[in-house]
Chain A
Amino acid sequence: MEKMPKWADAVLVPLLSLLMAAILSAIVIFAIGEDPVAAFKLMVDGALMRSAGWGYTLYYATNFIFTGLAVSVAFHARLFNIGGEGQAMLGGLGVALVCLYIPWPHWTLAIIGASIGGAIFGAAWAFAPAYLQAKRGSHVVITTIMFNYIAYSVLNYLLVNVLIAKGSMDPATPKFPEATHLPTFRDMFSTADTILFRGSPANVSFFLALFACVFVWLLIWRTRLGYEIRAFGHSDTAANYAGISAVRITIVTMLISGALAGLMAVNTTQGEAERLILNPTEGAGFIGIAVALMGRNHPVGVFIAALLFGFLYQGGAELALWTNIPRELIVVIQALVILFTGALDNMVRMPLERLFLAFRRKEAR
């Protein structure tokens, strides 16, 4: 017997967690002498009320969808991939090499090439931790974290010494050729009379992210590989009984996870920066963990959670811009949301379960 209905688990628990995070954030804002209601209004105005705000929210959300999916896929095999950050950085390198050194005739082909490049580089970066876990039992949490630092150093070295634009002081590649530039939402949705999404970075890779959601859903719940991934994640002893190879599943799952994280670079490196810069991920790899947790490792949940975190990112930027609320406090608010929706999940869930049980007992009488 389930303790509470599915809808309560999927909707009510995260909503209540969010509410508690919001209340606590309001108290913190109030404590430093600002008006929480005004602050919240400013966040909503800045992130959701104008199309340009949406343009930023969706841009961030795109990143979080990719990294959230990356964590989710790995988690179905009970592998905790914390290396989204490093895999996305290497994805950036893959995207940059594809865009710089292959003469693309049109962006439609370039995005395909860049996706393949980003995915392969991201997957390759996940391979070593995956191999070490599968063959040597080195815990993937530890190795993927270490590989984040290595990725940062590799990128740093390459940008400063190898890929840097001639005569530039800025550790970044030259701008990608015009033909690889992706259409932004402004290009796609503005008409002659009204300009939408002015100045915002959201671009066509948002749809690539949606496509990735569908892909992950099909992979996990409709394919044999997904079946084996889930079986292995639930019980490695049962997987052994069924003849599912632990080594194969561990490596293949991590490769898919790394590829998804690497795809994020299509949005940031090709879509927004149009060149590879230092620290192209800005922590999106870590946010992916929170997104996956909150989204219950389901693509639909990941999509919704990514939107929420996109809103927090963009709304937070607005706060920093227009109020005296310091930038650090915005990080605190984001942390509170992560804390409540992720780590303190049971704090909300257990009383709710008890409530539902009590309710049913009453009905049964």
Chain B
Amino acid sequence: MQGGRVTERRATAAPAIELRGISKAFGPVQANKDISIRVMPGTIHGIIGENGAGKSTLMSILYGFYKADAGEIFINGQKTQIPDSQAAIRAGIGMVFQHFKLVQNFTVLENIILGAEDGGLLKPSLAKARKSLIALEKEYGLKVDPDALIEEIGVGKQQRVEILKALYRQAEILILDEPTGVLTPAEADQLFRILARLKAEGKTIILITHKLREIMEITDTVSVMRRGEMTATVKTSQTSPEELAELMVGRKVLLRVDKAPAKPGAEVLLVDDLRVTDEDGVERLKGISLKVRAGEILGVAGVAGNGQSELLEVLGGMRPATGQVSIKGESIDLTGKRSDGQSRRSRGIAHVPEDRQHEGLIMDFAAWENLIFGYHHDPEYQANRLLMDNSDVTQLAARKMERFDVRPPNPRLTAKSFSGGNQQKLVLAREIERNPDLLLVGQPTRGVDIGAIEFIHKQIIALRDAGKAILLVSVELDEIMSLSDRIAVMFDGRIMGERLPSQTDQTELGLLMAGIDPDTD
């Protein structure tokens, strides 16, 4: 294979993978409907689709986790049965899952041979594995210390271990499920370089993602899935992000956020020398100072884990801190009884937390119960002094759900039965409908499909245009760049610098995110 170019004459090379007419249903839900796909050897093939489009189901069938109801699988032109993952490995398929399957207190080497030990004795197989591991690392430029413990290496390295695991088992076809979800932009770039190298060495790669940019950057061909069906397979060079988005969602999608210039007003949030020390005694915020004015969005960028979460949590009343914070000129308590979430809400602060499944929503509560969560003491929701007015709240909820386009608009469904995007709309509906002075938003579109992203962004802009102050935290640089009126970059618990989106670019922000100030060099 040269350069991974797709050969036009099919007779010369059989596809590395061919699926014919794959169908799979879970109860009444048709997850995959008559899917056919051909992936040529030595290419990177992207599979893109919204959450729930059936991408993961399809790959699980290929890896032997599910049995297809109908359809055939061909590997290198040979019809192949894949009843379990062992069979998939024998057929030369390796899978790198979104959530790594590594033993935290084992070394890299131990993890790699886990399940592929030969013989009952560990020592000889470890020695053998070490040799082939070093060979593999050389061949593909995948540097990892074989004796490091998994818990001591970063996520980017852990992902490499997963890839090495597959290569050690002689995988010729690698499937990666949303591999960049946990990576920093720099780590993602490194991953892409590794994938290009693997491709050059003749491996076939299937990349599952919902990020258009990754597809455009690295794949040779791309298949789009929507509602269990394969809607198109095209050469990447002959398509555009706009076209792919339309194929994914089934209608025209605005990828860029349309917004008028901000008209900032008075200062709403003033933070001065904010410090947080966590349970382990580690200082997470090391003197943060910032301000947000009415009618503007301050975007806080940074690699996850540099204090952005703690900043939101302190302002949202979820953890104590020291320093000065004031809202509209009046200072708020950072410790003690009056520093909890309810006190914050009474001061006009609304909070869309980073983790909607564990913080923003109670997954087993009905939508109507979730729509008053945190505001449940509000007199508006009470029937009398003792009892809550459940039926009235349910009706209110139905109206809010309609305004925020939550589908299905049934307030009696539990939160967990909604898709990620609709769950996020529930949280936004609850927080925005309270008409707060300041909105804290963490990762507003994490795990949210494209159609809903557009809607969520519009709502945030609309709130800004209504003259409210917004503090936005996101690890998606694109999101920060397109929504923010000002950008603050956090690194290691400090603010590295502030930039205007019109006067900066991804490179400069990336340097700041890595703790390097380009101006001082």
Contacts and interface: CB of A to CB of B under 8 A. Distances in A.
Given A1-B417, A238-B373, A361-B25, A231 B362 contact: yes
A241 B316 contact: yes
A6 to B, nearest CB: 12
Nearest to B69: A361
B350 to A, nearest CB: 12
B282 interface: no
Contacts of A224: 376-377, 382, 388
Interface string A206-248: 0000000000001001111001101100110110111111000
Contacts of B374: 241-243
B227 to A, nearest CB: 15
Contact of A241 (B351, B365, B382): B351
Given A223-B386, A234-B364, A245 B27 contact: no
A237 B359 contact: yes
B443 to A, nearest CB: 14
Interface in B261-320: 316-318
Contact of B360 (A2, A241, A244, A245): A241
Contact of A223 (B361, B363, B369, B388): B388
A321 interface: no
A234 B358 CA distance: 9
B376 to A, nearest CB: 5
B170 interface: no
B343 interface: yes
Contact of B365 (A222, A234, A357): A234
B386 A238 contact: no
B345 to A, nearest CB: 7
A69 B360 CA distance: 30
Nearest to B351: A241
A362 B360 CA distance: 37
A192 interface: no
A364 interface: yes
B318 A240 contact: yes
Contacts of B365: 230-231, 234
B363 A234 contact: yes
Given A1-B417, A230-B365, A238 B360 contact: yes
Contacts of B121: none
A61 B184 CA distance: 61
A238 B361 contact: yes
A360 interface: yes
Given A227-B388, A231-B365, A237-B359, A242 B373 contact: yes
A109 B414 CA distance: 45
Contacts of B318: 240-241
A273 B382 CA distance: 44
B359 A227 contact: no
B387 interface: yes
Contact of B27 (A227, A240, A243, A357): A357
B387 A235 contact: no
Contacts of B390: 221-222
Contacts of A228: 376
B76 interface: no
A231 B387 contact: no
Contacts of B362: 230-231, 234-235, 238
Interface in A235-272: 235, 237-238, 240-245
Interface string A133-166: 0000000000000000000000000000000000
B418 to A, nearest CB: 11
B344 interface: yes
B360 A243 contact: no
A241 B359 CA distance: 6
Contacts of B369: 227
A245 B341 CA distance: 10
A315 to B, nearest CB: 37
A242 B342 contact: yes
A234, A240, A243, A357 — most chain B CB neighbours (10 Å): A243
A242 B341 contact: yes
Contacts of B353: 241
A57 B387 CA distance: 34
Interface in B14-29: 25-29
B201 interface: no
Nearest to B25: A361
B340 interface: yes
Contacts of A234: 362-365
Most A CB atoms within 10 A — which of B28, B345, B355, B361?
Answer: B28
Nearest to A221: B390
B35 to A, nearest CB: 19
A237 B317 CA distance: 12
A235 B357 CA distance: 9
Contact of B340 (A230, A238, A243, A364): A243
A287 to B, nearest CB: 27
**Taking each of B362, B382, B417, which has the highest tally of chain A beta carbons within 10 Å of its own beta carbon?**
B362
Given A223-B387, A231-B365, 7 more contacts: A2-B417, A240-B359, A242-B374, A243-B345, A244-B341, A245-B340, A361-B28
**Ranked 4 nearest A-B pairs via Cβ:** A243-B341, A243-B342, A242-B374, A243-B340
20 contacts: A1-B29, A2-B417, A221-B390, A223-B386, A223-B387, A223-B388, A227-B376, A228-B376, A230-B362, A235-B359, A240-B318, A241-B351, A241-B374, A242-B374, A242-B376, A243-B341, A243-B344, A361-B25, A364-B25, A364-B27
